[in-house]
Amino acid sequence: MSSLPGTRLWLGHNLWEQMLADVTQHLPEEACGVITGQKGQGLEVIPIENILHSPVGFRMSPDEQVKVLLQIEEKGLDLIAIYHSHPNGPEEPSTTDIAEANYPEAVNLIWFSKEDQWQCRGFRIINGTIEEVPIIIT
């Protein structure tokens, strides 16, 4: 179910738009979800309920998360990214994001608003170390 860490994340425009719609729809709360794929290429966006319903934190519904992880495994895909939004900033992982990063193989996508426009940055978080990962929209 895991993929090897890559140096880039490739996403189709349709996946980008699906995440954008999800983070916008859940304002003022943080939205969250996962992206499945193979070898750094995104294939599907799967929104997951933020059970905290908070503008400053997220926790994926455990039931939904387990169901999605099992589906990913059954389909022979990888968990290539986890996304969530920071409606009020920052544009990088928070201390909580770093402490709770449990999937080092997945890119952490942070959606944030800057000058009233949603933007997104990708990060790999491994043992508290953060490395930015370029996102390529195709």
Mean of pLDDT over the chain: 93
Give one word for 63, left, alpha or beta, with left for phi > 0 and alpha for psi -120 to 50: alpha
CB distance 20 to 14 below 8 Å: no
**For 79-101, how does the pLDDT look when each residue is reduced to its tens digit (9 = 90+)?**
999 999 999 889 999 999 999 99
CB distance 15 to 37 below 8 Å: no
Q: What pLDDT, on the 0 to 100 scale, is given for residue 1?
A: 38
Give me the domains of the chain, ranges plus CATH numbers. 9-137 (3.40.140.10)
**For 66-76, how does the pLDDT look when each residue is reduced to its tens digit (9 = 90+)?**
999 999 999 99
Q: Residue 122 is which amino acid?
A: G
- The DSSP call for residue 98 is H
φ and ψ of 134, to 5 deg:
-65, 140
The token duo for 12 is 């189709």
